[in-house]
Amino acid sequence: MPEHRNNIRIPAREKRLQPHSTNAIVVSLPSKGDKGHSERVTKTAYLSLGSNVGDRLENLRSAIAALQNQGKISAVSSIYETEPVEYTDQSWFLNCAVELETELSPHQLMQEILRFEHGMGRVRSQPKGPRTIDIDILLFGDEQVDRGGLTIPHAAMHQRRFVLEPLAEIAPDALHPVLRKTVSQLKEKLHSDQSVRRLTEQ
C-alpha cells in the first residue's frame, strides 16, 4: 500500500511535478542560463530508480539528491507504484526514471551508484528481492557496454513495464542502440501484464 501522501522536496531551483494524488517530488533542475559546469557535460544517462523497503518515497528522494552530485538532473518522471516481478512475494515498489547529464564514464557512474546503494543499507541477499533502493543504468548515450559486471543498455529494460512507463514520459524518442527502437516503440510492443499505476504527474 502506498505511504501517506507527503510532498518530498529537494531545495534549489525547482521544477514541480504536479501531484495526481498528493505525492510529489520536487527536484532541482539546471536553468537555461546556467554556464560553467553545464558546458563540460557531454553524456546523457537514463536511470531507473525503485524502492520497496521502508519509506519508499523518502528513499527515492535521497537517491535523486545523491545523483545530483554526479552531474545535472535534466528530467524526473512521475512516480509509479508497481507490482513486483520474478520474485513476487514482496511489497510493491515505487519507481521513477531520471535523466542525468554527467561527465562520468559508465563504470564510474556505476561505482558511485553502488556506493550510494550500500550507504542506504541495501543488502543483496535475495536475487530480485526487497531493496531499500535500486538504481539501474538503462541507457548511456549510444554506448554499448558489456564488461566488468555492467551491461548497457540494460539487458531487461525492454521487457519491463515498470521501467518503460516512466522512461517513456521523459525520453520517448531515446533510441535503444542494440534493438534500434525508441523507448516509445518498445513500450508499445510490450506484452507484460505487470500492474503499474501512476501516483504523480509531471
In the chain, what are the domain boundaries? 7-198
The pLDDT tens digits of the residues spanning 99-157 come to 999 999 999 999 999 999 998 877 766 677 799 999 999 999 999 999 989 999 999 99
The confidence score (pLDDT) of residue 124 equals 66
User: Among residues 56, 61, 122, 161, which one is catalytic?
Assistant: 122
Count H helices, E strands: the chain? Answer: 5, 13
Contacts of 166 (CB under 8 A, 6+ apart): 48, 77, 78, 80, 95, 96, 97
Catalytic residue among 56, 61, 131, 160: 131
Q: Is 131 a catalytic residue?
A: yes
Among residues 134, 160, 161, 198, which one is catalytic? Answer: 134
The CATH class that applies to domain 7-198 reads alpha beta
134 is catalytic: yes
- Give whole-number Cα distances, 77 to 66, 94, 128, 168, in Å: 17, 12, 23, 9
Partners of 139 in beta bridges: 46
Is 142 designated active site? no
Q: One of 56, 136, 161, 198 is an active-site residue; which one?
A: 136
Q: With CA atoms as reference, report the closest residue to 88 among 3, 195, 201.
A: 195
Could you confirm whether 115 is annotated as catalytic? Answer: no
| 159-202 per-position pLDDT tens digit | 999 999 999 999 999 999 999 999 999 999 998 778 999 997 65
Q: Which residue has the cell 500500500?
A: 1
